[in-house]
Amino acid sequence: MKKNAVIVFVTVLILNFSVANAHETLLDRESLKNSGIDFDVSVTQIYQNNVRGGLSTHNHRGRYSGRYDFELYFDGQKIFGLENSLFYMHNRGSWTDAGGIDGTSVGSIFGVNANAFGDRAFDIVELWYQQGFNDNKFILRLGKLDLTGGFECKGCPVSFDGSSFANNETAQFMNGALVNNPTIPFPDNGLGIIGHYNPVEWWYISAGIADAQADFRETGFNTAFHDEDYFFSIAETGIVTEIDSANGPLQGAYRAGLWYDPQPKGHSDMDKRYRDDTGFYLSFDQMLHRENADDQQGLGTFFRYGYAPSKANDLTNFVSAGLQYQGLLEGRDDDVLGFGFAKGFLSDKAKATYTEDAESVYEIYYNAQILPTVNVTPSLQYIVHPGAINSVGNATVLAVRVSLAF
């Protein structure tokens, strides 16, 4: 914990120094970028408390959590003469218990804090090489990967399970069900390969395969080559549309995907295990209103659905939806208000473990930009039937997230 506190303190000092010396810093960074190297540094700190219901309102464990992220980008063409290539490294550290207050105070299936990765000083969570072909219409990425995002189509996040309004736990929703679809058994970041094909501006198709037993704390070679030969695979296709409006085009993205997991597993009430699990998902988002044509101010909506077979999964059906408005208040053009709802339906075959049919969550947040590098986000979550157990009361979770970015 002391080690993590030192890391956070030093990072915050760097960020504050950068703000105070913005002109010189921008010049230095631009010079570095011209040589083919770029970077992003961010610190996210969260205080979260269950104030009613759940497992406990008095347990302090996990209330304060956070993470730092250090990302490096190496332009392969500028450095090595490799056209349309990119080398990427994502380093991350985090502090306090994995899951934050969830295990001791709430008991949610979804997880109320998607930023709580446990007490980790430093991990290389992504390290990959990307090569583009045919003017980047086809992109191949291989290495230690995060399958939950990283590709775009006309500026919209896609592949896999992307969303413009519910995909970023450091800036948008904190509840895990409003970050990614929980019916998709995404493995930890590990060794894999993804192909992304974008033959026309408005349509794409992607496919990926990765180590199903990966552990983000490791390099990935041990589980990929020395454990069982279990490799998770996923494919997604989608279109990006534009609807004309008086204040500029209203962009929407409509994605559909399939996944396959070969690992033996079953629902909680049964010892028998099944291999070759499959499922599918949908993820849609659409701008509904734009205030002007110059930026992203306006109202947008999102929707997700997921299905997984009941014989091998506790969570069999999932749906989420919500709204986001950027620039709702006069003079606060970069502030974002978000509201989301998610519901996960439990398997009828696991009624001994889960005495309720479903768990639901409502979350509202307001991301306020205090400085160009500092955002403060109060958040309120209301969880109905945490853990899908009728003896656990509905929980009310309050949080404040402070994000610093350079």
Model confidence over 184-212: pLDDT tens digits?
Answer: 999 999 999 999 999 999 999 999 999 99
Nearest to 382, CA basis, from 16, 51, 4: 51
Residue 10: the pLDDT is 46
Strands 298-307 and 231-243, by their bridges, are unpaired
Average pLDDT (26-34) is: 79
Nearest to 219, CA basis, from 103, 128, 309, 153: 128
Average pLDDT (71-91) is: 96
Domains of the chain: 50-333 (2.40.160)
First to last CA, the chain: 24
Query: In the predicted model, what is the mean pLDDT of the chain?
Result: 91
Q: Are 364 and 380 in contact (CB under 8 A)?
A: yes
Residue 16: the pLDDT is 54
Task: Give the range among 1-10, 289-298, 391-400 with minimum mean pLDDT.
Answer: 1-10
d(CA 288, CA 207) in angstroms, rounded, equals: 30
Residue 269: the pLDDT is 67
Average pLDDT (96-107) is: 90
Nearest to 397, CA basis, from 107, 118, 67: 107
| Cis peptide bond prior to 216, omega within 30° of 0 | no
State residue 225 phi and psi, 5-degree precision: -115, -10
Question: Element (H or E) spanning 406, and its range?
Answer: none
360 vs 266: which has the higher pLDDT: 360
pLDDT confidence tier of residue 164, bands split at 50, 70 and 90: very high
Residue 393: the pLDDT is 95
SS3 7: helix
Residue 99: the pLDDT is 84
Residue 376: the pLDDT is 98
Q: With pLDDT > 70 as the criterion, what percentage of the chain qualifies?
A: 93
